[in-house]
């Protein structure tokens, strides 16, 4: 993997770059869609390739349990297995293990506690984390080494070291302990990776929760190691302003010459606020999940497909949109499909929203090239 900066904005930290991977180019800044199980929900990967989505995020946790890394290895890797020609990034599996155990920040803040999805952490030790499979209840040991070995079998273009996702409500001492272990885990992950690079790049995950000093410490520790890029993970704060403030302090400590990634954030407002801070890639299930809920993204804002006024809207969702959905179907038809609870609605809405994201990021890159952002 190589990274090239085409233009540094004169107005902000925003930059336009290009990541070269074995499966093609990722123009940055860019949006990364989430295909947890090796597919975007309600879409097939050939269609996704044709939309021009340059990077897809797949979850090692889910793929570890189903179909398992051995099946994917025998298939010739994730790209061949899932019929995708363009780049893929996988995470370590840690995020899901811990977020299923602790619940997400939102769950915590709403006192929803741990999700009852059957994911269950049995033991966290220096070695790694032992959890029960949500599929069959069998115990699975995830260590820096087994995570990287799994990610070698999957064969994504970009992989991620094992980290711990501490709960949002954690004392400073515990956060420190967690961070230090995460650093050791990431270092072990890197060492395992460097035994056999296999044409993959590895991004570190900068942690430290909402503590600025720990974030600084994490950036210092990790950027001293030969990672290919840097992701930002862990608790980013309770609110968007908190997140933005944290990133403002952190981003100057992240090497400009390497690509970076903001984990799990990619809603429209966050993109607008974080691209000027110099973030290169963002992953989020927001546009596809919104699509399945009938929220269609347009330059004039979100359109709720099921709204009564759309029953007779015989034009496309957005005038001039060149996506498959807008080329072939009207908003009135989508309205009807949502009303009739047809799965086809989810597919057509997802195609549109994903296409919207691809075009939106192109507009961001153009704006940066012109120093407008």
Catalytic residue ranges? 91, 283
The one among 98, 185, 329, 356 contacting a second copy by CB under 8 A: 329
Question: Are the CB atoms for 222 and 230 separated by under 8 Å?
Answer: yes
Residues 343-362 that bind a second copy (CB under 8 A): 343-344, 346-348
Indicate whether 12 belongs to the interface with a second copy (CB under 8 A).
Answer: no
89-97, 219-227, 338-346, 358-366 -> range binding a second copy (CB under 8 A): 338-346
The one among 311, 322, 366, 370 contacting a second copy by CB under 8 A: 311
* Spatial distance between the Cα atoms of 39 and 76, rounded to a whole number of angstroms: 17
Of residues 322, 310, 262, the one with CA closest to residue 286:
262
Report CA-CA distances (Å) from 151 to 60, 92, 278, 286: 7, 7, 27, 25
Q: Which is nearer to a second copy, 77 or 237 (CB)?
A: 77
The least CB distance from residue 7 to a second copy, in Å, is 36
The one among 14, 19, 32, 43 contacting a second copy by CB under 8 A: 43
The one among 81, 102, 203, 230 contacting a second copy by CB under 8 A: 81
Four-residue CA torsion sign, 82, 198, 254, 373:
negative
The least CB distance from residue 233 to a second copy, in Å, is 24
Q: Which is nearer to a second copy, 21 or 350 (CB)?
A: 350
Q: Which two tokens stand for residue 44?
A: 């097939």
Report CA-CA distances (Å) from 134 to 114, 268, 293: 14, 32, 26
62-70, 95-103, 258-266, 271-279 -> range binding a second copy (CB under 8 A): 62-70
* Spatial distance between the Cα atoms of 154 and 150, rounded to a whole number of angstroms: 6
Could you give phi then psi for residue 231, rounded to 5 degrees?
A: -100, 155
14-22, 102-110, 149-157, 333-341 -> range binding a second copy (CB under 8 A): 333-341
Instruction: Give strand ranges (E) for 88-220.
Output: 88-90, 120-124, 129-132, 139-142, 158-159, 201-206
Indicate whether 220 belongs to the interface with a second copy (CB under 8 A).
Answer: no
* Spatial distance between the Cα atoms of 150 and 144, rounded to a whole number of angstroms: 10
Indicate whether 67 belongs to the interface with a second copy (CB under 8 A).
Answer: yes
Indicate whether 324 belongs to the interface with a second copy (CB under 8 A).
Answer: yes
Indicate whether 117 belongs to the interface with a second copy (CB under 8 A).
Answer: no
* Spatial distance between the Cα atoms of 18 and 87, rounded to a whole number of angstroms: 13
Four-residue CA torsion sign, 74, 76, 81, 82:
positive
The least CB distance from residue 139 to a second copy, in Å, is 20
Indicate whether 240 belongs to the interface with a second copy (CB under 8 A).
Answer: no
Question: Residues in the site for a second copy, rule: CB under 8 A?
Answer: 37-46, 62, 66-67, 71, 74-76, 81-83, 311-312, 314, 324, 328-330, 332-333, 335-337, 339-340, 342-344, 346-348
């Amino acid at each position: 993997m190589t990274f090239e900066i085409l233009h540094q904005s004169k107005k902000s930290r925003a930059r336009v770059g290009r990541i070269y991977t074995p499966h093609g180019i990722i123009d940055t800044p860019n949006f990364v869609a989430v295909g947890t199980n090796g597919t975007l929900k309600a879409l097939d990967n050939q269609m996704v390739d044709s939309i021009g989505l340059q990077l897809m995020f797949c979850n090692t946790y889910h793929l570890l349990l189903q179909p398992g890394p051995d099946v994917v290895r025998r298939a010739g890797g994730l790209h061949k297995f899932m019929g995708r020609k363009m780049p893929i990034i996988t995470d370590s599996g840690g995020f899901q293990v811990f977020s299923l155990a602790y619940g997400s920040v939102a769950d915590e803040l709403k006192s929803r506690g741990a999700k009852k999805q059957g994911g269950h952490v049995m033991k966290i030790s220096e070695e790694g984390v032992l959890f029960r499979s949500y599929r069959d209840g069998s115990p699975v040991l995830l260590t820096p080494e087994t995570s990287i070995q799994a990610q070698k079998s999957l064969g994504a273009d970009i992989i991620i070291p094992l980290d711990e996702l501490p709960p949002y409500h954690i004392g400073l001492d515990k956060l420190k302990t967690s961070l230090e272990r995460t650093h050791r885990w990431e270092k072990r992950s890197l060492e395992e990776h460097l035994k056999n690079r296999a044409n993959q790049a590895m991004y570190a995950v900068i942690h430290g929760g909402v503590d600025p000093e720990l974030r600084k410490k994490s950036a210092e520790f990790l950027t001293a190691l030969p990672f290919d890029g840097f992701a930002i993970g862990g608790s980013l704060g309770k609110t968007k302003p908190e997140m933005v403030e944290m990133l403002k302090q952190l981003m100057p400590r992240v090497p400009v010459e390497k690509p970076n990634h903001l984990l799990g954030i990619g809603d429209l407002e966050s993109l607008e606020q974080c691209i000027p801070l110099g973030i290169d890639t963002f992953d989020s299930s927001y546009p596809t999940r919104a699509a399945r809920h009938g929220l269609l993204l347009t330059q004039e804002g979100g359109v709720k497909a099921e709204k009564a006024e759309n029953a007779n809207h015989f034009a496309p969702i957005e005038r001039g949109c060149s996506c498959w959905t807008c080329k072939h179907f009207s908003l009135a038809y989508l309205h009807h499909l949502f009303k009739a609870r047809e799965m086809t609605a989810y597919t057509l809405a997802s195609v549109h929203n994903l296409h919207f994201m691809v075009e939106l990021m192109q507009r961001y890159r153009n704006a940066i090239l012109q120093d407008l952002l």
